Amino acid sequence: MTQVLALIPARGGSKSIPRKNIRQFAGYPLIAYSIAAGLAAETVTRLIVSTDDEEIAGVARRYGAETPFLRPAGLAEDDTLDLPVFQHALGWLAEHEAYRPEIVVQLRPTSPLRRAWHIDQAVYRLLEHPEADAVRTVCVPFQNPFKMWQIGPDGLMRPLMQSENQEPYNMPRQLLPEVYWQTGYVDAAWSDTIISKGSMTGGAILPLVIPPEDWIDIDSPDDWRRAERLLESGELSFDDLGYQVLEKTQPAG
């Protein structure tokens, strides 16, 4: 069986929504949703939360995740990139447990309403294309970047994107090149891509196209309220997501 590690990065600091990873979201800690989705995916053989925070680690364990290490504080800053976090996790597991998964899946806690089967689809797509370095979920964006602008130092607008057409920003949307937005919803990569190539994606990246309405990312209090209402109103159910959020162990005391 292919060893597939689902890794959930969850640092303690958060400025936009304080303590968001363990804040109650429709009745459960936010991180519990990503844990439940990873545990429900049939391709995932192990699920670990990488955190620098003891409280987050405790909550993660209650909902079925492993926390075999605490991430160094230097890898939990506001500007810390994904790559060193994943390099640390894979290095620690190889050194302390001789554990070397073939595939690593990133599940960000800020996408609590991902479908469990999208995790499996990403892994299967990578397995079917061993020549690729990674798979990323993408969707058709709500706005086309060919109609986006930058404002220069002189105060004049300049098109963000260049095209064979002289003025793509004046063209109908239907005639513009097809583009996709990376959602951060599910990322899957060979562990060798991370370790040997020093990249979260490498150069050969396959898309897993998902419906735009399936992608929900929480980055602000408004995002939080909108996403929470989907569950609380019944517009979206756990059956739709393919899992249930359940505590595996009761908290001490």
Domain positions in the chain are 4-140+181-241, 142-179
The span from the CA of 33 to the CA of 18, in Å, is 18
Residues 6+ apart with CB under 8 A from 79: none
End-to-end CA distance of the chain: 39
Provide the strand spans (E) within 89-234.
Answer: 103-106, 134-139, 149-151, 157-159, 181-190, 205-209
| Confidence (pLDDT) at 45 | 98
Q: Residue 144's CB: how many other CB atoms inside 10 A?
A: 17
pTM of the model: 0.91
Alpha-carbon gap, residue 105 to 88, rounded angstroms: 15
Q: Read off the pLDDT of residues 139-177 as tens digits, 9 standing for 90 and up.
A: 998 888 889 999 999 999 999 887 776 788 888 888 888
- CATH class held by domain 4-140+181-241: alpha beta
Report residues of the chain scoring pLDDT below 50: 251-253
Query: CA 121 → CA 36, 127, 152, 207, distances in Å?
Result: 17, 10, 42, 11
